[in-house]
Amino acid sequence: MNSSLRLVTSPEPGVSRYATLAQALRARVVAGEWSPGSALPAESQLAKEHGVALGTMRRALELLVEQGFIERIHGRGTFVRQGLAGASMLRFFRFDSGTGEVPVSRILQRSRVSAPAAVSRALGIGAGEPVLRVHRLRLMAEQPRLFEELWLPLDLFAPLADDDLASWDDLLYPMFARKLQVHIHRALDDIGFGQLSAAQARHLGLPAGHPCAQVQRSAYDLSGRCVELRITRGDAHAFHYTVNIT
């Protein structure tokens, strides 16, 4: 029964057989059958389970590789990709002190709030639904460098609303995976420029109105749901980013 459910008998019009198959494999990952970092069964086994030719299964797996969903490790097999590690804000900034270390995180504030309109839109939840709002500071060599505001939908993140902040890691994404089985799979960072409010500036030890780079991140879990909205602000003069154009 289980295996017949997986037969790819009627692909949607306009969607190729292997794209439909890729979707079905993805659903098995989202359902938790294979967790991030774990190996997939052999291609021949998967082809048998889904009742398709080996070639069709190979094309479906290739598509998932292109989508960054799985990866092949030469000589070892095919694995569900690990989520993002989370230190990536540093790709946008260069601080004197920065020698590759993970910034230390200091949580300034954590509270349940009703989602403002822009937040509920970004997170795809109803207006005013409860979210967890977190303000945190990130320090390098004991200097505050980045000020972050995070909004997390409470239906997924409720366990983080009351737990001991001392148990929080400097890197949030591995913690989301460990504590909540929420795996951040991809993110969109929107870079803009602005000026620090008095409160933001105070946290960063800069004058109010100081120019800042601001990165608005939308982060998505394995199922493609936006599960985090984050705005990171840092000194505009420390901003640096390189784009390769071909």
Q: Is 224 in the site for a second copy (CB under 8 A)?
A: no
Q: Does 88 bind a second copy (CB under 8 A)?
A: yes
Residues 6+ apart with CB under 8 A from 186: 68, 84, 219, 220
109 touching a second copy, by CB under 8 A: no
Nearer to a second copy, 62 or 189 (CB): 189
How far apart CA 64 and CA 169 sit, in angstroms, is: 30
Residue 237 is a binding residue for a second copy (CB under 8 A): yes
Min dist CB 215 to a second copy, Å, is 9
**Smallest separation, CB 61 to a second copy (Å):** 17
The nearer residue to a second copy, 36 or 52, going by C-beta atoms, is: 36
**What is the closest distance, in whole angstroms, from the C-beta atom of residue 89 to a second copy in the complex?**
10
Q: How many C-beta atoms surround the C-beta of residue 17 within 10 A?
A: 14
68 binds a second copy (CB under 8 A): yes
Q: Does residue 186 belong to the site contacting a second copy (CB under 8 A)? A: yes
Cβ closer to a second copy: 72 or 240?
A: 240
User: Structure tokens of 147?
Assistant: 């000020």
* C-beta of 159 vs 192, nearer to a second copy: 192
Amino acid at the residue 85:
A
**Which member of 213, 222, 227, 229 binds a second copy (CB under 8 A)?**
213
Name which of 110 and 239 has its Cβ closer to a second copy: 239
Alpha-carbon distance of 45 to 60, in angstroms, equals 14
Of the candidate spans 4-12, 104-112, 123-131, 183-191, the one that interacts with a second copy by CB under 8 A turns out to be 183-191
Chain positions 150 to 169 lying near a second copy, rule: CB under 8 A, are none
Residues in the chain: 246
Does 124 sit near a second copy (CB under 8 A)?
no
Give the position of tokens 């601001």. Answer: 214
Question: Looking at 55, 111, 193, 205, which residue binds a second copy (CB under 8 A)?
Answer: 193
CA–CA separation, 149 and 108 (whole Å) = 10
**Positive or negative: CA dihedral 193, 94, 98, 82:** positive
Alpha helices in 31-166 (DSSP H): 43-50, 54-66, 117-123, 154-157
DSSP state, residue 39? B
Q: For 1-159, where are the alpha helices, taking DSSP H only? A: 2-5, 17-30, 43-50, 54-66, 117-123, 154-157
Determine, following the binding rule CB under 8 A, whether residue 41 of this chain makes contact with a second copy: no
Under rule CB under 8 A, residue 211 binds a second copy: yes
* 64 in Cβ contact with 25 (< 8 Å): yes
Q: Which residues bind a second copy (CB under 8 A)?
A: 68, 84, 88, 185-194, 211, 213, 236-237, 239-246
